[in-house]
């Protein structure tokens, strides 16, 4: 196991070990099968890079995250207003609420656009949200799961009272672990591959076959 560190991106192995490896590589027939020493074609390298970036981007919380109870607060205020009560039909009521319940907060409005609901949905969560408002809790820590309003499963920053914020933090543990995990994987595979004879060397299969 001799290491050579002067040109790590070219090879991590000294000449002696390389020549021992190439001798075995060329001299052995593995059940009649031979192997070449080609490098990853560059389009495949790009594809792998694209895959790793996509893996983070397409799973980003924006895509498919559940709505929080916080975003429907204004809708719930409006639903019992005289203006809405005077409208006939649930569909028309909901259209009025959506048109007049727009949030000036872009984050909340974005979530409202992605999570539309109907009057019946509002009726199902109304009582639960009022109960939470009475308790004075942060509605941003509660998610709407179908007809239920439940405490979210996020593990966010620590609060002064020793509990955790139930909001996704920017450093979300899952993504943080992923970043290190992928980085370690790339480094480990790079080391494994750079310990092989350089790809400019190709075995002569006529030796063993």
Partner 1 sequence: MLKYLFRRNEDIPPGTAAVFFGFSSIIWFVVGTGLGSFNAAKLAFPDFVTGSELFSFGHMRQVHVLAVIFGWISMAFAMAMMYITPALGNTKLWSEKLGVWNCFLWNVGLSLGLTLLWFGMTSGREYSDFPWAIDLYIAAFIALPMALNVWMTILKRRTQGIYTTNWFFGAGVFMVTIVFIVGNSPEFFNLTGLSEAYLTWWFAHNVLGLWITPIAAAIAYYTVPKVTGNPLYSHRIGHLHFWSVVVFYSTPAAHHLMSAPLPEWLKSFASVEGVLILVPAIAFVSNLLLTMTGKWHMFVENVEIKYTITGVMLAIPLNMQGGFQQTRAINWYIHGTGWIVAHAHLALLGFSTFLEAAAVYYGLQTILRRKLYSLALANFHFWFLLIGFAIYWISMTIAGLIQGAGKIYEVPYIDVVIAEHPYMIARWIGGTMVFTGNIVWLYNMYMTAKAGTEIPEGRLPHELAYER
Closest contact distance (angstroms) between CB of 168 and partner 1 is 7
Look-up of token digits 């994987």: 185
DSSP letter at 70 equals: G
Residues in the chain: 209
Closest contact distance (angstroms) between CB of 29 and partner 1 is 7
Closest contact distance (angstroms) between CB of 81 and partner 1 is 26
Q: Which is nearer to partner 1, 78 or 111 (CB)?
A: 111
Q: Which is nearer to partner 1, 47 or 83 (CB)?
A: 47
| Distance from C-alpha of 105 to C-alpha of 108, rounded to nearest angstrom | 5
Closest contact distance (angstroms) between CB of 125 and partner 1 is 16
Tell me the CB-side half-sphere exposure of residue 157, using CA atoms within 13 A.
5
Closest contact distance (angstroms) between CB of 157 and partner 1 is 13
- Count other Cβ atoms within 10 Å, centred on residue 13: 19
Q: Which is nearer to partner 1, 74 or 128 (CB)?
A: 128
Q: Which is nearer to partner 1, 33 or 86 (CB)?
A: 33
Q: Which is nearer to partner 1, 8 or 174 (CB)?
A: 174
- Measuring CA to CA, how many Å separate 89 from each of 50, 93, 100, 118? 49, 6, 17, 12
Residue 144, phi then psi, degrees to nearest 5: -100, 115
Q: Are 94 and 118 in contact (CB under 8 A)?
A: yes
| Positions in the binding site for partner 1 (CB under 8 A) | 24-25, 28-41, 44, 47-48, 51-52, 54-56, 58-59, 61, 63-65, 145, 150, 152-155, 168, 172-175, 177-178, 181-182, 185, 188-189, 192-193, 196, 199, 203, 205
């Amino acid at each position: 196991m001799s290491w050579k560190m002067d040109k790590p991106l070219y090879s991590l192995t000294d000449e002696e070990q390389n020549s021992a490896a190439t001798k075995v590589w060329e001299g052995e027939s593995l059940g009649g099968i031979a192997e070449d020493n080609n490098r990853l074609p560059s389009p495949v390298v790009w594809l792998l890079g694209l895959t790793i970036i996509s893996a983070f981007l397409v799973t980003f919380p924006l895509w498919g995250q559940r709505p929080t109870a916080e975003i429907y607060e204004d809708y719930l205020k409006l639903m019992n207003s005289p203006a809405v009560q005077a409208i006939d039909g649930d569909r028309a009521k909901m259209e009025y609420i959506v048109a007049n319940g727009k949030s000036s907060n872009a984050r909340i409005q974005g979530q409202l656009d992605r999570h539309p609901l109907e009057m019946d949905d509002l009726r199902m969560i109304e009582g639960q949200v009022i109960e939470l408002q009475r308790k004075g809790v942060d509605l941003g820590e509660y998610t709407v799961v179908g007809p239920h309003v439940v405490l979210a499963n996020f593990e966010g920053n620590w609060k002064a009272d020793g509990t955790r914020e139930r909001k996704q933090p920017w450093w979300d543990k899952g993504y943080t672990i992923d970043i290190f995990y992928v980085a370690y994987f790339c480094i480990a595979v790079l080391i494994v591959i750079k310990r092989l004879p350089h790809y400019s060397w190709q075995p002569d299969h006529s030796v063993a076959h």
